[in-house]
Amino acid sequence: MTLDTKFDEILEFPCYQTFKVMGVADPSLPEIVISCLQKHAPGDYSPTIKPSSKGNYHSLSLKVKVTSKDQMETIYTEISSLELVRFVL
């Protein structure tokens, strides 16, 4: 699946991008997201985790150094495909 984004027109690479991941409030969510992220942008990640008001979902914020439009699109696609993940912004 190819995304039709304009990242290369808006951003200058390399740069840091904050990814917001919303998923099911499962204790393994941060570990699963970081594991996927390590495949595409290895680094030391410490996500900020915020629970939803009812506690059913968690929001993770991760600051990632990205080097290209293709890398950003791959990260969005791969994290979005994880079973526990509902949205990636």
Confidence band (pLDDT; 50, 70, 90) for 80? very high
d(CA 37, CA 45): 9
62: nearest Cα among 81, 86, 84, 79: 79
d(CA 58, CA 50): 6
Confidence band (pLDDT; 50, 70, 90) for 64? very high
pLDDT at 2 exceeding the cut of 70: no
- pLDDT tens-digit map of 44-58: 999 999 999 999 999
pLDDT at 18 exceeding the cut of 80: yes
**Stretch 25-49: mean pLDDT:** 96
Q: Are 65 and 12 in contact (CB under 8 A)?
A: no
pLDDT at 19 exceeding the cut of 90: yes
Alpha carbon of 57 to those of 21, 22, 45, 77: distances in Å?
Answer: 10, 7, 20, 20
d(CA 32, CA 38): 10
More confident residue, 5 or 75: 75
